[in-house]
Structure formats: C-alpha cells, structure tokens
C-alpha cells in the first residue's frame, strides 16, 4: 500500500521540514538535473519559511525567489538527519542540505524556482485551505452552489477547497450523510457548513496523526490503546462494506477517480 499525499501530508511536511531547515543557509542542488527554474538561484540562500497551501508547498528564500513543490501522485521526500548525507538514490530532483538535515525530493509533479508572482498566481486559483486559520469558508460555499456538478466532484476540485483528495472526499461526505452525486446547487448553507467543519477536523487530525484516520474509535470495538490498522481507518474508502451499517459500498467513477459511498448512510 502506498500513501499518496492529501493536504494533511503537505502541512506535516511543511512543519517537520521547517524545523530542520528554516533560518539556515541551505545548499540546494538537483542530482537528477531536472530542477526547472534553476537550483543555483537559491543555492546557499537562507530558507525563511516553508508555506503550505492545500497540496502545494512554497519555499521562501532570502534571495526573494520562491520554490514551488507539488508532490502529485508519486512525489516523496526522504529526510536524513544530522551529518548523514548518502549518495542520492534514484531520481533525486531536489536536494536540500542544511546544518540539521539533508532532504531529498523525488518524483514530484512540480518542482521549480520562480519569482513571487508565480506563487500569487497559484494561490489565486486555489480555494481556501481548511487546515489554515482564518480561511474564508464562504468562498467554498459560493463556488459549490454555482455548479450542477456533484458535490463529490466539486470538493476534490482544488479551486473549490484546497487539500481534499480521494480519501477525505469519501470520508467527509460519509460523515455528513451526503451522496457524492448531489448537485452543488442543491446544497444548503447548513449542509455546507457541516461539510466544512468535517473536512477541517479530518484534515487537522491527519496532520497530527501523520496518516488518515477518519473513524471514531468508539465505532471500532478495539481494545484500549490498540493501534488502528490500515483498512479499518475509514468508513467507506476502499471498503467492501460500510463500517457503520454493513451495506455494500458503491463505487462510482467521478472524473476518472473512484468515489466510494454507502447507499444507506448517504441516500440520494
């Protein structure tokens, strides 16, 4: 099994890597040689901040340049602490070497050094990120209520709300009892407010856990302190039967991605 990142992963990375790198001069290189922009532009600069938004990361450098990383389906970081600095393994797109750690990035969809206007452009096309404080949930509501497209399609659209992927889509709609094909225009404020609150809670919990657990322990019948295993951490996602009522989970293809829902708990 394989963890492809949703918003929670990105925020955790920003936090963890930020502790190791920010405030330090960083050697920046591209062992693979495919760093679009130019690693040299920021090589040796001080990393001032790693800013997450949805599934995107922005690296603020003391030169004024801004690094942009999007992991996509396959992107992965490897962290080596302290002095350990192994030969790059595989296609390392970006290597960051600081006093406290060496961090390698492989397989990202995007990795570039740009000027600040590029960050502005990207942020302008992203919806609010519920993990962050003071985000305007109304932006998400307005957008959803504008479209006939299904809510399951809409909440995975990063311009509607930033950070939700296929797992959180399935799980948030389940908890709110909303069918994924429910047209956006038919959703009322109360429903959308509940959805926002649910998504926010789930994503923030994911940052803490470092993984996606959307079930509440009380519904699992687990011994106290037992670890929630993969495969039992969700209500509908990748399950054969609904965790809550046992009904067979239905699969629908929404924009070429499998959507999971319980026809009993999420009636049309």
Partner DNA sequence: ATACCATGAACAG
Partner DNA sequence: TGTTCCTGGTATC
Catalytic residue numbers, as ranges: 5-6, 55, 257
The pattern of x and - marking residues 11 through 50 that bind DNA according to CB under 7 A reads ----------------------------------------
Task: Please select the residue that binds DNA; options are 45, 107, 178, 192, rule is CB under 7 A.
Answer: 107
Exactly one of 15, 38, 40, 74 binds DNA (CB under 7 A); that residue is 74
Choices 61-69, 106-114, 134-142, 191-199 (CB under 7 A): range interacting with DNA: 106-114
Beta strands in 135-249 (DSSP E): none
Using alpha carbons only, give the angle 131, 134, 137 rounded to the nearest 5 degrees: 75
Nearest Cα to Cα of residue 17 among 63, 81, 85: 81
Residue 225: which region, alpha, beta or left (left: phi > 0; alpha: psi -120 to 50)? left
Query: If binding is defined by CB under 7 A, does position 79 make contact with DNA?
Result: no
Residue 47 or residue 119: which is nearer to DNA going by CB?
119
Q: Does 104 bind DNA (CB under 7 A)?
A: no
Beta bridge partners of 94: 105
How far, in whole angstroms, is CA 64 from its chain's centroid? Answer: 26
Task: Determine the angle formed by the axes of helices 189-209 and 137-146, rounding to 10 degrees.
Answer: 130
Q: Which residues, numbered 235-264, are part of the site for DNA (CB under 7 A)?
A: 238, 255-258
Neighbouring C-beta atoms of residue 134, cutoff 10 Å? 5
Separation of alpha carbons 210 and 134, rounded Å: 23
Residue in 166, 198, 200, 236 binding DNA, rule: CB under 7 A: 166
Residues forming the site for DNA (CB under 7 A): 1-6, 54-55, 70, 72-76, 90-91, 106-109, 156, 158, 165-167, 212, 238, 255-258
């Amino acid at each position: 099994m394989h963890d492809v990142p949703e918003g929670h992963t990105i925020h955790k990375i920003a936090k963890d890597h930020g502790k190791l790198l920010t405030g330090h001069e960083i050697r920046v290189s591209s062992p693979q040689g495919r760093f679009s922009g130019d690693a040299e532009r920021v090589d040796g600069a001080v990393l001032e901040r790693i800013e997450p938004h949805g599934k995107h990361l922005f690296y603020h450098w003391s030169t004024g340049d801004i690094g942009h990383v999007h992991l996509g389906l396959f992107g992965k970081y490897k962290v080596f602490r302290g002095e350990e600095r192994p030969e790059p393994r595989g296609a390392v797109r970006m290597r960051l070497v600081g006093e406290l750690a060496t961090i390698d990035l492989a397989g990202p969809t995007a990795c570039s050094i740009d000027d600040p206007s590029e960050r502005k452009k990207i942020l302008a096309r992203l919806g609010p990120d519920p993990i962050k404080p003071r985000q305007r949930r109304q932006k998400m509501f307005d957008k959803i209520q504008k479209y006939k497209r299904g809510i399951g399609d809409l909440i995975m659209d990063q311009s509607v709300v930033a950070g939700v992927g296929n797992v959180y889509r399935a799980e948030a709609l389940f908890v709110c009892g909303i069918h994924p094909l429910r047209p956006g225009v038919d959703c009322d404020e109360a429903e959308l407010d509940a959805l926002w609150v649910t998504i926010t809670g789930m994503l923030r919990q994911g940052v803490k856990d470092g993984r996606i657990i959307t079930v509440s322990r009380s519904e699992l019948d687990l011994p106290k302190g037992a670890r929630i295993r993969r495969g039992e951490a969700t209500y509908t996602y990748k399950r054969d039967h609904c965790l809550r009522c046992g009904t067979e989970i239905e699969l629908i293809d929404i924009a070429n991605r499998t959507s999971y829902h319980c026809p009993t708990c999420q009636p049309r």
